[in-house]
Chains A and B, each alone.
Chain A
């Protein structure tokens, strides 16, 4: 083993990482080569010094600094991570969100519309087979049903004619298939003319009142569904 080989393996020799045979050859070489021995001793000295080097500790406020950075990361990361939550969490959340949005839309358009349409049942019967049931206005005394005998009299105006004559708008009409007489109709009228509607209906036949809708103060136009019962001939 020459000087170059020894220098190449000196590091492993110092750490006793060489096989016994090679270690023995190096040991023999060092015993007779001052130059390589000098290298060996120098290596040992440096390693010894390095082993004994002072351990440098972090500054006193190190923990606080790391904690502050972690807090920042947790708060921002927490917000960020919520955007990337696992699908098993995100999907139900999204579904709940969609359900909430649908519920809101139904409330805004559906329920609101339902409020405008005072779905009251009005029955028409009597001699012309018409009993009209309309909702009772809050606070209004329940009128005795009025019965008018139209027999032998001149032709009474139809429900549609009465409505039109009063200037109210018929939004839609459902008719009996066989008689073409209205089974129900939706009428749009100013809220403060509701009493007038009841009066007109009273003149047409027996009107039975039912619990009345409560009009909202700002509501100026209402829709009333008039259901005609026993409307057959």
Chain B
């Protein structure tokens, strides 16, 4: 209940700041960034799995927000609208990111499955990846690496649902999916993660 109240407060404050920015107060946009940067950045990071990419992507999101705010329908939910922009920006990046990330990955597992195909989970070898110091962080890292292997839509849906805790309905609004598509996409993503993380966590 308290969490809902906080969400509503953020929503109301966002609307006020957005209106103020549109009325010409540029400082309101700074406050809007401060209010949402954590949310936007985390979604970018969890969807892209790379800190620097997430940094660029999250910046792009706020640039787009500043440009599109005049088209925002104030009857709708600001956070959902912000998530939609974030998700679309991430989706565009994932496509161009795959090649770049492939060049800097190392294998952590050479286990072979029954068909003798390499059954590997690849970990990105990046200086900004949260350091694997504790067991929890190690699991976080393994999950993140598994998420990174999912197709873009599955990745975004599972991040929105299982990391960001969004409802099916809201995910549908953010992704532009019917409820059935949200369910099936999430189901495939979870099944894939189960396979990838079997015996590792």
Q: Does B201 lie within 8 Å of A45, measured CB to CB?
A: yes
The 8 A CB mask of B147-180 against A (1 = contact, 0 = none) is 0000000000010011101001000000000000
- With beta carbons under 8 angstroms apart, the residue of B42, B63, B187, B197 that contacts A56 is B42
Contacting pair B59 A51 (CB below 8 A)? no
Query: Chain B residues near A9 (CB, 8 Å)?
Result: 187
B45 adjacent to chain A (CB < 8 Å): yes
Flag if B59 contacts A65 (CB, 8 Å): yes
- List CB contacts (< 8 Å) of B49-63 with chain A: 51, 54-55, 58-59, 62-63
- A59 contacts the other chain (Cβ, under 8 Å)? yes
Whole-angstrom CA separation of A59 from B55 in the bound complex: 8
Question: Given the known A-B contacts A17-B168, A42-B194, A56-B46, are A66 and B187 also in contact in the complex, defined by CB atoms under 8 Å?
Answer: no
Docked-complex contact A63 and B183, CB < 8 angstroms? no
| B contact residues around A141 at 8 Å (CB) | none
B191:A7 contact, CB within 8 angstroms: yes
- Which of B67, B130, B162 has a CB less than 8 Å from the CB of A51? B162
A140 contacts the other chain (CB 8 A)? no
B158 neighbours in A (Cβ, 8 Å): 50
A47 contacts partner chain B, Cβ-Cβ < 8 Å: yes
Q: Which A111-151 residues have a C-beta within 8 angstroms of B?
A: none
Assembly CA distance A54 to B140 (angstroms) = 8
The secondary-structure label for the interface of chain B is helix
* Residues of A with C-beta under 8 A to B54: 56
Complex Cα distance A102/B187, Å?
72
On whether the beta carbons of A66 and B33 are closer than 8 Å, the reply is: yes
Contact, CB under 8 Å: A50 / B162: yes
Question: A63 contacts B33, CB within 8 Å?
Answer: yes
Stretch from A67-75, A166-174, A197-205, A210-218 forming part of the interface with B: A67-75
Is the CB–CB distance between B183 and A53 below 8 Å? no
User: Cβ of B37: which chain A residues have Cβ within 8 Å of it?
Assistant: 57-58, 62-63
B30 / chain A contacts, CB cutoff of 8 Å:
63, 67
Let me know if A11 and B183 touch, CB within 8 A. Answer: yes
* Contact yes or no, B58 A12, CB < 8 A: no
In the assembled complex, the CB of A49 is this many whole angstroms from the nearest CB of chain B, namely 6
Q: Is B117 an interface residue (CB 8 A)?
A: no
In the bound complex, how far is the Cα of B140 from the Cα of A14, in angstroms?
21
Whether the Cβ atoms of A70 and B197 lie closer than 8 Å is: no
A73-101 contacts to B (CB < 8 Å) = 73-74
Q: Is the C-beta of A43 less than 8 angstroms from some C-beta in chain B? A: yes
Contacting B at CB under 8 A, from A2-51, are 7-12, 14-15, 17, 39, 42-43, 45-47, 49-51
| Contact yes or no, A66 B62, CB < 8 A | yes
Contact (Cβ within 8 A) B183 A62: no
A sample of 9 more A-B contacts (CB under 8 A), given A43-B190, A51-B162, A65-B55, is A10-B190, A50-B143, A50-B158, A56-B45, A56-B54, A63-B34, A65-B59, A70-B66, A73-B63
Q: List 14 A-B contacts (CB under 8 A).
A: A10-B190, A42-B198, A46-B197, A46-B201, A51-B163, A53-B144, A54-B130, A55-B38, A59-B55, A62-B41, A62-B58, A66-B62, A73-B66, A74-B26
Question: Which 8 pairs from chain A and chain B are nearest by CB?
Answer: A11-B187, A50-B162, A58-B41, A56-B45, A58-B37, A66-B62, A55-B42, A57-B38
